[in-house]
Structure formats: C-alpha cells, structure tokens
Amino acid sequence: MVALTVNGTRHEPTSPDDTPLLSVLRGPLGLSGPRFGCGLGMCGACLVLVDGRPMTSCDTPLWSVDGTAVTTVEGLATDGAPHPLQQAFLDEQAAQCGYCTSGILIRAAALLDENPNPDEDAVVAALDENLCRCGVQRRVVRAVLRAAAGGQR
Ligand code: FES
Ligand code: FES
C-alpha cells in the first residue's frame, strides 16, 4: 500500500497504484487546488511539490510518490495565513480566471525556495512552462517579484 504525506498529514490512499496523483488529490483527498488541464504534463495546472520539487501530478502515478511529502497550493498557507506569494498574487490581482494560478504558485514557491531574490528574467524563465490563457503574465511576474521583496514594490 502506498503511503504519503500531503500538506503535513499522512495518507494511505486505497486507489489503484497506477492512479494519477492528481486524481487522488482531487478525489479521495478532496484537494481541489491542483487543476486538470492538459493531462499530458505540458501545461503546469496540476503542479504540486514532491519533496520540495515541482512535479506535474496528472502524469505521476500514485506508486511513484510512495513515502514522499506532497504539498499542494492549499499547503502553502501557514495556520490560515496566506503564503507571501498568495498575498502578493492578491495584491497584484495576478489571477483572471484562476485556472492556472495554483500551478504557477507552486512553481513560484519552488523558485523562491531555491533563489529568494530572482530578477525578472529568472521569474520569466522559471514560469515559462506554466501556460495561462488569460494574459495575466505581466501581473504574475510582478507578484512573484513583490513576494521576493517581502511584499514591497
Ligand atoms: S494537467 Fe498536468 S501538466 Fe497539464
Ligand atoms: S488566469 Fe486564466 S488561465 Fe491563467
């Protein structure tokens, strides 16, 4: 049986081992933050952190995350307080429909963990594979830079 930690809580999902992680998160675990977009590992809507690294959950079978710690966008908040990135996205109104937003937040969180002071080029490069149809990319970049600057810009 697969056992994993999701947002700090241990789970032993009963889904078949080849079930996509995204289906387990959105189904039995009730976490609707990660989204189903392409289903092919191409758009980034379903990103989660697996042991701190961004991973597309739509094409990741459950068996492959046995023993890992998974963080979804819901797990970025601390004691109900938004993550600095989440606050910055609100401040910059960096979501339109919001479908892509959780994946972008996950990728941006991984970026800031690795590089707390990215410049604009580094933010653009990091988010290059996260697709957004709504055209909020400029606001997204501003929001990530705002979070990196401690909420000031
Ligand atoms: S839904 Fe997973 S990458 Fe598009
Ligand atoms: S805000 Fe709509 S897809 Fe990005």
Give the domain extent around 49.
4-76
Collapsing DSSP to helix, strand or coil, 81 comes out as: strand
Same domain as 68, residue 28: yes
State the distance from the centre of ligand 2 to the C-alpha of 98, rounded, in angstroms.
Answer: 5
Same domain as 52, residue 72: yes
Domain boundary among 19, 50, 76: 76
Same domain as 12, residue 64: yes
Q: What was the pLDDT predicted at 151?
A: 79
State the distance from the centre of ligand 1 to the C-alpha of 152, rounded, in angstroms.
Answer: 32
Q: Which residue lies with its CA nearest to atom 4 of ligand 2?
A: 132
CA distances (Å), 23 to each of 19, 118, 121, 127, in order?
A: 7, 33, 34, 24
With the most atoms of ligand 2 within 8 angstroms of its CB, the residue from 92, 107, 136 to mutate is: 136
User: CA nearest 19: which of 10, 32, 9, 29?
Assistant: 29
Q: Which residue lies with its CA nearest to atom 3 of ligand 1?
A: 41
State the distance from the centre of ligand 2 to the C-alpha of 143, rounded, in angstroms.
Answer: 14
The average confidence (pLDDT) of the chain is 97
Rounded to whole angstroms, the Cα distance separating 22 from 50 reads 12
pLDDT for residue 153 is more than 70: no
Same domain as 98, residue 61: no
Both structure tokens of 119 = 């410049």
43 pocket-lining for ligand 2 (C-beta < 6 Å):
no
Domain boundary among 28, 52, 76: 76
What would the pLDDT profile of 88-139 be if each residue is shown by its tens digit?
Answer: 999 999 999 999 999 999 999 999 999 999 999 999 999 999 999 999 999 9
Rounded to whole angstroms, the Cα distance separating 116 from 126 reads 13
Rounded mean pLDDT, 63-79: 97
Specify the number of domains making up the chain. 2
Rounded mean pLDDT, 72-84: 95
Q: What is the dihedral of CA 67, 51, 91, 33, to 10 degrees?
A: -30
Rounded to whole angstroms, the Cα distance separating 102 from 92 reads 15
Domain boundary among 46, 76, 106: 76
CB 152 within 8 Å of CB 84: no
CB 12 within 8 Å of CB 63: no
